[in-house]
A and B are shown apart, each in its own frame.
Chain A
Amino acid sequence: MGLLSDPQCRRALGRLLLRLNTPLCVLSYLSGLAWFLLLPLLAPRTYLSENAMGSTMVGEGSDLGPRALALARDFGEHRRREGGIPVSWLSHTMFQLGLEVHSQPFARTLPFPDEAHERYLVRGTNVFGVLRAPRAASTEALLLLVPCCEGGKNEQAVGLLLALAGYCRGQIYWAKDLIFLVTEHDLLGTQAWLEGYHGVNLTAMQSGPFPGRAGAIQAALALELSSDVLTSVDVAVEGLDGQLPNLDLLNLFQSFCHKNGLLCTLQGKLPPPEGPSGPGYAQSLRTLGLMVLGQAGGAPGGPHGLFLRFRIEALTLRGINSFRQHKFDLGALGRTLEGMFRKLNNLLERLHQSYFLYLLPSLARFVSIGSYAPALGLLLLVLALRALELWMRLSRSEEGEGEPPVGEVRGPSDPVPPARGGLLYLVPPILISVGAGAALYLLPVRGQAVATQHFPVGEAEAVVLALIGIYVAGMALPHSTHRALSGGGQRGWMTLKLLALLALALLLTCLALLNFSLGFLLGVTLVPPAAAVRPGGNRLPLALLLVLTTPGLSLFMAVLLERELLEAPAGLGEAWQRFLGALGQGLLQEHLHGAHLSPLLCLGAYPCWLLLWNVLFWK
């Protein structure tokens, strides 16, 4: 404050800010990008910081391989016979293993048909068995989840779950209840179970009274396997809305993989060979990029993603069977699970020691919030610099009428002629932008009935097409409305741009805390046009820049980029199909699980972008 309250200093600073604004902005933006690209080099190794899990040793004695395979075959047979999840067989088997067995039927009508999974009216049953802890009073629990999807997938996982349950029943050291859960319709079943278990109804899920409970769930593991032998285990961390589990859980998994000689991957990528440069860096960056894209999307990376909202630390483990030479059987994975549960059993309090906000450039290294936040901070600095410049020019033009300051250097543009009439001329563009956002958010799903009546399209198609239609129509609005309005002149667009900059900065600040990846991606795309946009002159390059960075097109680019990072590049046609799918899924996520991505984009990013679009076409 001292620097700012000295008038001499203040004037010097102000002049510096006005004269060097553009170079400073460019520098700040580029250093933000560079910072992000350097993150893999700044990442320290992960370490286990929870005492209760770190220092104690556990030995795993199980050999579940053959038993798991036998149970899996049994399960597969019964499933084929019943054409769905064999509830009675599962209950019976679990009961025989000595568990307390319950089942929970649920039903859900989707807001519109889900084309990716081909479902609309969903009806299913979750089966779960509780192993009551012999040494404690059922106050805490651990959970193993196997989603039972359509087709022949995940039979081995159910087998392993049952075999593990049988083995754990024989051990006497459990201090936390163990819940073994098999859900139907993957995420939907998991959502229904979680809502039932916690006695809440967040989405329009219909399920009966919840039969039996164990203690507060401390940690959960979800398992997806579809072959008898494995080459590696892939671990997914991203949860709903980009929430992440405590890093200690991941560290625990990694240490057991190490111990049991399992090969584990993150985003399908092996940890790169150590050494900061060369292929190691490229691979780290690719893994980091995939994680950022996955987190920004806000869709859960596996069934574990729904647990995080209930403050349960969770991971999804996926068995991969590829063409690698070295394979291992289910027994090794069983030992890993057993070891993890035994260590988690030792927990004295919730996992809270390690990091919750992090990015992973490889499984063994992490970037904490302190390291990655400056990247977004530098992007936000661009907005702040621009906003300050606009404010100074606006306030100077107001004062400037009385006495033009002697020897003052004007900003890059001419002095701004003052315009009277208050701020009323700003109301229509703001209302239009917010209204367009609200329409984009509400109309596609609410108006699908009308759309299917009048146009020859299916319901799911109608929703996606309406979304695109409204989005594009919003871009035409400034043209048609400006005829009716008298512009506020130079001051008008400056004030509007100032507001747009502030709204964008506010949105990005909040996102930086809630979902860094989304905030960063939106920042990278929206900051340059926000800083550059101005009416008059040659509008074409600016318009092009704005169109290229509109959130909708960014999503399309993200689809392309993701395929590129997965080393399976997609053509434009395929990318378009995936883009349409992503739109539909994005809307469904909101209704099924309460994801925040689509409201954020529709009510936050899109109106901000429309304001900038309005500035460009200001008269």
Chain B
Amino acid sequence: MAAPLVLVVLAAVTVRAALYRSSLAVFIAERVEVASPLNAWKRVVEGLALLDLGVSPYSGAIFHETPLIIYLFHFLIEYAELVFMITDVLTAVALYLAIQDFNKVVFKKQKLLIELDKYAPDVAELIQTPMEMHYIPLKVALFYLLNPYTVMSCVAKSTCAINNSVIAFFILATIKGSAFLSAVFLALATYQSLYPLTLFAPALLYLLQRQFIPIKLKSKSFWLYTMQYTSLYLCSLVVIICLSFFLLNSWDFIPSVYGFILSVPDLTPNIGLFWYFFAEMFEHFSLFFVCVFQINVFFYTIPLAIKLKEHPMFFMFVQLAIISIFKSYPTVGDIALYMAFLPVWSHLYRFLRNIFILSCVLIFCSFLFPVLWHLWIYAGSANSNFYYAITLTFNIGQVSRVRQMKENRDSAKRG
């Protein structure tokens, strides 16, 4: 199985290397859909320049990366392109290994349930055969590496790729059952972009399931394990934040990174839902609506945790999708990460109604983004409403796809 993976990796690296050398790279890096204020490469370079001058990189209002990232690139700036390519490959390999392991678990469970005769007779086609499962990890790696969204994100050198990599390693650690590594990577992911905080719930559920600890509020072992995982997570988070403090010797990065994510001061258009809404709103109401919009990301965790407690991996997928749709500065790189998981649930596709229409909506929107941007910004014949209309359509497409996946999961379970 390693040979096809190597082939995919080679193809992906070739495509990226070719694009880095072409004139398209500059164009892609400027696209607002690919680079947000949080992760644009231009801003990393600006931060590095300030750092070299001995000024705090956060003293301007441009730089919003975490201190670890800036120190990473402080040493690796010469090899930036290589770093981004390696990051993408690492993400894909991590996802590959994680899904491989996950499939083994699913297969065992399926076999157990078949032997116990727990399945209803008419769900035979829902049961995955080993043959189908064999190719799923490869498909996941393929979906991630050759997804045009990932490629563009990598070519634009958006640091989103690094966040994705951290999240992929977190998933790998969780599936392998290592609570310590899982907590460390989750802390890193939270430190990087705050929203992965919500992945805490699915990870905990998965680890509990793996340890065969029943999820009951009265059981002692449940609380013990939860406390253990929580404290591991919090400790590593504190260690990372303190490390950042010692690197720069100031707390400037807290408002510059997390304040920037939460209060959404930069209203540059992107594929998210925030910018138009807050650009149009009276200043007076903005605090209230910022809270409402941000709660959107975190709130769904609770009902989903109750509903999907038996299927933590699916929960993880839905949560990743929710983050990438509702976060304050989404880019296509975020979407690419959750899209990579689609093959895992490919057996649900035959129940996925409207998949054709929804996929067409997403593809058409992806092409219309630059067209309407051109009409609005360069030609001046359209305005922001046109662009936001496409943003809305794109997000509605994403939301209804995730919703349908969720519904199918439910109906498959009932069956």
Contacts and interface: CB of A to CB of B under 8 A. Distances in A.
A576 interface: no
Contacts of A505: 364
Contacts of B378: 309, 311
Interface in B392-413: 400
Interface string B321-364: 00000000000000000000000000000100110100010011
B380 A311 contact: yes
Q: Is the interface of A mostly helix, strand, loop or mixed?
A: helix
A5 B371 CA distance: 32
Contact of B125 (A402, A502, A506): A402
A509 B372 CA distance: 11
A606 to B, nearest CB: 18
B219 interface: no
Contacts of A10: 353
Interface residues of B, number: 20
Contacts of B364: 505-506, 509
A505 B400 CA distance: 22
**Range of interface residues on chain A?**
20 to 34
A4 B368 contact: no
Contacts of B356: 388, 391, 395
A513 interface: yes
B69 interface: no
Contacts of B264: none
A249 B125 CA distance: 66
A10 B357 CA distance: 14
A472 to B, nearest CB: 30
Interface string A376-397: 0000000000011001000100
A194 to B, nearest CB: 14
A191 interface: no
A357 B381 contact: yes
B381 A356 contact: yes
A514 B374 contact: yes
A568 interface: no
A5 B353 contact: yes
A402 B122 CA distance: 12
B240 to A, nearest CB: 43
B379 A1 contact: no
A388 B356 CA distance: 8
Contacts of B125: 402
- 7 closest residue pairs by CB, A with B: A356-B381, A391-B356, A311-B380, A510-B371, A513-B371, A506-B367, A357-B381
Interface of A: 1, 4-5, 10, 243-244, 308-309, 311, 350, 352, 356-357, 387-388, 391, 395, 398-399, 402, 502, 505-506, 509-510, 513-514
30 contacts: A4-B354, A243-B379, A243-B381, A244-B381, A308-B379, A309-B379, A311-B378, A311-B380, A350-B380, A356-B380, A356-B381, A356-B382, A357-B381, A391-B356, A395-B356, A398-B350, A502-B360, A502-B363, A505-B364, A506-B363, A509-B367, A509-B368, A510-B367, A510-B368, A513-B371, A513-B372, A513-B375, A513-B382, A514-B371, A514-B375
Interface of B: 125, 350, 353-354, 356, 360, 363-364, 367-368, 371-372, 374-375, 378-382, 400
